[in-house]
Structure 1
Amino acid sequence: MNTRYIFRSLSRPVILNMCRRHKGYKIIKRPDPNTLKMPNLSDAPSIMDIIKEKVRLNGPLTVAEYMNIVITNPTEGYYMKKDVIGETGDFITSPEISQLFGEILAIWFYAETQKMCLGKPLQIVELGPGKATLLIDLLRVLNRYGYKANDLSLHLVEISSTMQLFQANRLCATHRETDLFLPYNYEGETVSGIKVYWYNDLKKVPNNFSWYIAHEFFDVLPIHKFEKTENGWREILIELDENEKLQYRIAANETQPVRTLVRPPLDAGDRMELEISPRALGIARQLATRVDQYGGLALIADYGHNGEKGDTFRAFHKHKIVDPLENPGNSDLTADVDFSQLRISASMSPGAENYAVVLGPVKQMEFLERMQARVRLQVLIDSAKTDEDKEKIKASYEMLVDPTKMGERFKFMAFYPSAMASILEKIPPLGFSTPK
């Protein structure tokens, strides 16, 4: 019999019944997120074990993948386990050296805001707040300028629960974890009633008029390392040698990061080595867009260069430079910030999207001197009770501005709303121009 007669003989309801699914699914009860618990830390694999397993399964790691594992692993990551800042840690930051540093930054933000508006209500957003010392010094100055609890709020971008708790204990009279469905995962309130919120991503911070502070934040963001060979740009990877130790190797072929990242203007000039952080470029663009669309200022302070360096990846342990591939998880991984790349990512463009007016980078010693930091230094010296205290204050300041220490290595860069361009031509920005 011809096939078409067979199909004609079948009624439509029968065909539908044959194709209909009966109970082809199963209802699964989802667990309550509030009852989930982290695994026992004693059972967690070491950072080295995690890295070895990833290399065995997926092959060599990019430097960015390696940094991400070492820094942010939930149980064994460098910033997840302990307080790493200060004399007893692996490195020290400018706010920990002298209160003058945070006070000068507060004066800069306040003075530049007056060129735009009153600056109330105000969000203060800090990326990677460390020990919260900078915020404490900044709040002390704002109190002198008349800011009250209902005039401002603090928004801290911090991925480490250990550091969140440390910051909360220093800043807040009360604090607590929040519901998982809120954009912030921790909240608190200072003695004076200022609300404080913690986030694991800048994208979750409300879009309002804000001061954005990124002090020694960009230098820890994962980088991809590249080297120019006779066959073109190739990526530096990390693999295991025959003794199960980590070592570098150059990729034989173009990797995806080479194709997507190493292109003009990022590879401009005759550079033979290049470091690019996609996350740094993305966050710089976020900051610029927020400042331009919702108002405010962003200030980046970090050690870095303006595009002249290519190989800066290293590690710090107990204030000394060590091999970044040795004992992963026990030392601070870092790379100098390429401010020329941040400028490219954040600057005004001739198209419809304007982003921000970008100023800098300028050397830390120049920024502080232009902000008349020595005037404040003298006040602190005059207020000191003993000669020993006076000498300590002087020594701390010299560490900040000495060209052989932090004065030249650390740089400042600022983002202003694009609408401020004409105003800045008439009233030069403090810290980024020489006072007349």
Structure 2
Amino acid sequence: MNTGFLFRTCTAPTILTKFFRRSKGYKIIKRPDPSTLKMPTPGSAPSLMEIIKEKLRLNGPLTVAEYMHIISTNPTEGYYMKKDVIGEVGDFITSPEISQLFGEILAIWFYAETQKMGPGKPLQLVELGPGNGTLMVDFLRVLNRFGYKSDDVSLHLVEISDTMQSLQARRLCITHRATDIELPYYYEGETVSGIKVYWYNDLKKVPNNFSWFVAHEFFDVLPVHKFEKTEDGWRELLIDMDENGKLYYRISGKETQSAKVLIRPPLDAGDRTELEVSARSLGIARQLAHRVDEYGGLALIADYGHEGEKGDTFRAFHKHKVVHPLENPGECDLTADVDFSQLRIAASKTPGEGNYAVVAGPVQQKDFLERLQAKARLQILMDNAKTEEEKEKLKCAYDMLVDPKKMGERFKFLAFYPSSMGPILEKFPPLGFVSEK
């Protein structure tokens, strides 16, 4: 066969046109403008129970972490997405809502510890899960007293709930607006004193600059995986639905992928039979340690938790009372005590990591506040009170914060410093974390 002739014939323009001509061309699709898209209104979307039921049908039992994620962050029906849940009319109350003293003491701690590093200006004040914005109101008041001007500080809030973001904007800003979808922050505003305020849906989007990071009652709502130790090793606690449509717990028959990845020494040491691990919490702790060490600043975590001695703390709150976590999904606050020992491990130096933090704590809230002269601040507030009723309220609020039977022992503080601060902290120990000699 004359292969040369065949090749020339097949590559002739007429043959190519015949073989490769498209009978129909691709049409350009007109896509919608992302800025005009809106989520379904609450009530028009499937209920959380319907969503959970469908996920169980398609994928089988859910992990507790998956369940918590659905309940907390569903765009329309999620617990934090559709209503204000903090305060007397909500399901729980936080320390900043109890007394202005709490936020003031935290701001003073940041300012005092920053003086060990330098002037600390310009400053990014970053809060993870800002609640109603009350804590930042107290912070900004203290910064104003310390001489911070609008050019010295900017406020960066990590918040995924449009409902909570709206509350924060009304509390903090004199003007506020949505931003272009191309920007890393989805909302912006300005305080009455001219301080710029920005909202993000992810910590990774906050600019890498010298920052104070505050995480108050943030880690306790992050999803946790629950494990139990059986004769066959660690097995994960899963959530399933019975024939009557009621959710219940069951143990995985085999070792799940979560158990393989998350249960590592020293977590599985000793005689522990129950364990809770939040992969999301460990990742954020590493982020904070990295950012503090590489770009400068401080991180302070305040939450209720333990140091590794507890194993089963997953629960729900409704109207300030403890209820079953699997009942009425979306109507209750799901939470688990923070394991501060795990956060310490995540933030401290590990092989192969270039940035890590010097970790101080955890210490009990009672000790932290009292070591920072909270009683002296209480006395000043009482001296300025106009009535005996106001004085009594101040005393009751302070008692709520420091009484060991209330918040005093259950809530703890953990701090991250840049690794370069090690020698300085040996000479000038972290305020609030060590007893005065």
**What TM-score, normalized by structure 2, do the two folds share?**
0.96
Please tell me whether residue 59 in structure 1 is matched to residue 60 in structure 2. yes
Distance 1:279 1:12, change over 3 A: same
Cα contact 2:99–2:397 (8 A) shared by 1: yes
Give 3-state SS (helix, strand or coil) of 2:408's partner: coil
By how many angstroms is 1:19 displaced? 6.5
Looking at structure 2, the residues matched to 246 and 6 of structure 1 have their Cα atoms a distance apart, in angstroms, of: 74
Looking at structure 2, the residues matched to 13 and 94 of structure 1 have their Cα atoms a distance apart, in angstroms, of: 81
Structure 2 partner of 1:117: 118
Looking at structure 2, the residues matched to 18 and 390 of structure 1 have their Cα atoms a distance apart, in angstroms, of: 93
1:254-300, Cα deviation, whole Å (9 max, x unpaired): 11111111122332332111111111001000011000000000000
Question: Where does 1:286-435 land on structure 2 (aligned, <5 Å)?
Answer: 286-349=287-350, 351=352, 353-435=354-436
Cα contact 2:275–2:312 (8 A) shared by 1: yes
By how many angstroms is 1:44 displaced? 1.1
Structure 2 partner of 1:140: 141
Distance 1:5 1:131, change over 3 A: same
Between 1:380-389 and 1:278-287, the stretch displaced more is 380-389
Distance 1:352 1:272, change over 3 A: closer
Question: Where does 1:168-187 land on structure 2 (aligned, <5 Å)?
Answer: 168-187=169-188
Structure 1 partner of 2:28: 27
Please tell me whether residue 190 in structure 1 is matched to residue 198 in structure 2. no
Structure 2 partner of 1:157: 158
Distance 1:118 1:8, change over 3 A: closer
Between 1:353-362 and 1:84-93, the stretch displaced more is 353-362
Give 3-state SS (helix, strand or coil) of 1:168's partner: helix
Give 3-state SS (helix, strand or coil) of 1:164's partner: helix
Structure 1 partner of 2:90: 89
Between 1:140-149 and 1:265-274, the stretch displaced more is 265-274
Looking at structure 2, the residues matched to 137 and 9 of structure 1 have their Cα atoms a distance apart, in angstroms, of: 82
By how many angstroms is 1:42 displaced? 3.2
Structure 2 partner of 1:68: 69
By how many angstroms is 1:38 displaced? 2.1
1:46-82, Cα deviation, whole Å (9 max, x unpaired): 1111111111111111111100111111000000010
By how many angstroms is 1:351 displaced? 4.5
By how many angstroms is 1:387 displaced? 1.5
Structure 2 partner of 1:42: 43
By how many angstroms is 1:428 displaced? 0.8
Please tell me whether residue 272 in structure 1 is matched to residue 270 in structure 2. no
Kindly, what percent of the aligned residue pairs are identical?
75
Looking at structure 2, the residues matched to 169 and 228 of structure 1 have their Cα atoms a distance apart, in angstroms, of: 48
By how many angstroms is 1:18 displaced? 7.1
Q: Residue type of the partner of 2:379?
A: Q
Q: Residue type of the partner of 1:322?
A: V
Give 3-state SS (helix, strand or coil) of 1:196's partner: strand
**What TM-score, normalized by structure 1, do the two folds share?**
0.96
Query: What is the total number of aligned residue pairs between the two structures?
Result: 435
By how many angstroms is 1:124 displaced? 0.2
Distance 1:8 1:141, change over 3 A: closer
Give 3-state SS (helix, strand or coil) of 2:405's partner: coil
1:332-389, Cα deviation, whole Å (9 max, x unpaired): 0000000111111111235551311111110000101111111111111111111121
Give 3-state SS (helix, strand or coil) of 1:406's partner: helix
Structure 2 partner of 1:281: 282
Runs of 4+ in 1 over 6 A off after TM superposition: 2-9
Cα contact 2:42–2:82 (8 A) shared by 1: no
Structure 2 unaligned regions, length at least 5: none
Q: Residue type of the partner of 1:335?
A: A
Distance 1:114 1:24, change over 3 A: same
Looking at structure 2, the residues matched to 205 and 100 of structure 1 have their Cα atoms a distance apart, in angstroms, of: 28
Distance 1:19 1:418, change over 3 A: farther
Structure 1 unaligned regions, length at least 5: none
Looking at structure 2, the residues matched to 397 and 168 of structure 1 have their Cα atoms a distance apart, in angstroms, of: 28
Q: Residue type of the partner of 1:148?
A: K
1:218-238, Cα deviation, whole Å (9 max, x unpaired): 000011111111111111110
Alpha-carbon RMSD across the aligned residues, in angstroms, is 1.8
Looking at structure 2, the residues matched to 5 and 347 of structure 1 have their Cα atoms a distance apart, in angstroms, of: 70
